[in-house]
């Protein structure tokens, strides 16, 4: 006999761009530009739609898409965290049979362009491949659980990285390195220790701390650097309780130029994507 287990449904990858028009002190225009991808998942009284072909309690996912655009029209949310909470609160307030809502938003890193040192009021460039992320979850009658983050933070340094002293057995071919390239495409997530922080300020401090620590750190392994980056983020942002980092090791292998009668003093490398080392950890207070 079959029985319905846990279930949820929603709308994924709702694409949204927003222009916020402001005035500078000299009355000239200044625009802000955001590009978000929104996902919504609902849990609640939807069993009959699965077991009895009864859609009477189903909010169409197309309506969820329209809700995203309609709320965004009048929203004063300045961050993806604030908009995710606003969207989730609206769905819970207007549909009593929803017991739990999850909202995820990714934001592309558009940055204001500067021309001859002056910021352009309405021109932007993509700042990097990374996405700003948030996932908010709220069961009805409970507080929001908010996890913010960065996905695809691609960083590299050409020195201050070593890897020695590891286990060597009959299958080990890797040679010790005292000066190597260290590159990663990091995913970072953090949980808040207090409600309603200044999300934008916290995010900026965490990113600055991560980048500063990565650049200056004398790395003895990716694990070593990951921990110290997380520790620096905790110090920079007392508003967060913990931070989780995933740091795949993007490899750059020294090219063998000996068949051509040439040496290679850490000059020419072959980048490879796969396979790669995969390191992750949560750093807590």
Catalytic residues: 11, 61, 251
Which run of H or of E encompasses 222? Answer: helix 222-236
The CA-atom distances, in angstroms, between 176 and each of 199, 223, 274, 277 are 42, 16, 20, 16
Q: Shortest CA distance to 219 belongs to which of 154, 159, 266? A: 159
Residues 6+ apart with CB under 8 A from 210: 153, 186, 188, 229, 232, 233
Which of 284, 156, 161 has the alpha carbon at shortest distance from 217? 161
Distance in angstroms (rounded) separating the CA atoms of residues 271 and 183: 10
Q: In this structure, what token pair is assigned to residue 175? A: 């040679």
Q: Report DSSP state, residue 59.
A: P
- Distance, C-alpha 131 to centroid of its chain: 5
Joined tokens for residue 108: 């592309």
The SS3 of residue 87 is helix
Handedness of CA 242, 276, 218, 212 (dihedral sign): negative
Angle at CA 85, nearest 5°, toward 15 and 76? 75
- In the sheet with 145-157, reading across from the earlier edge strand, the strands are 9-23, 29-44, 98-115, 118-139, 145-157, 182-192, 240-254, 269-284
């Amino acid at each position: 006999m079959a029985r319905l287990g846990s279930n949820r449904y929603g709308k994924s990858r709702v694409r949204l761009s927003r222009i916020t028009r402001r005035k500078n002190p000299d009355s000239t225009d200044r625009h802000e530009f955001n590009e978000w991808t929104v996902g919504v998942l609902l849990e609640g009284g939807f069993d009959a739609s699965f077991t009895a072909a009864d859609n009477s309690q189903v909010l169409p996912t197309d309506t969820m898409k329209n809700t995203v655009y309609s709320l965004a029209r009048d929203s004063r949310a300045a961050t993806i965290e604030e908009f995710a909470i606003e969207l989730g609160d609206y769905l819970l307030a207007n549909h009593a049979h929803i017991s739990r809502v999850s909202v995820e938003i990714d934001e592309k890193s558009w940055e204001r362009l500067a021309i001859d040192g002056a910021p352009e009021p309405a021109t932007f460039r993509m700042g990097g491949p990374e996405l700003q992320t948030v996932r908010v979850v709220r069961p009805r009658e409970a507080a929001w659980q908010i996890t913010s983050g960065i996905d695809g933070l691609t960083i590299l340094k050409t020195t201050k990285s070593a890897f020695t002293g590891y286990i060597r057995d009959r299958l080990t071919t890797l040679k010790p390195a005292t000066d190597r390239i260290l590159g990663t495409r990091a995913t970072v997530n953090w949980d808040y220790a207090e409600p309603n922080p200044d999300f934008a300020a916290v995010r900026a401090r965490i990113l600055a701390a991560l980048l500063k620590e990565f650049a200056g750190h004398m790395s003895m392994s990716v694990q070593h650097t990951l921990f110290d980056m997380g520790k620096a983020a905790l110090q920079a942002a007392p508003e967060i309780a913990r931070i989780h980092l995933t740091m795949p090791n993007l490899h750059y292998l020294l090219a063998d130029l000996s068949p051509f009668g040439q040496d290679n003093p850490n000059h020419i490398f072959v980048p490879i994507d796969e396979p790669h080392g995969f390191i992750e950890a949560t750093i807590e207070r």
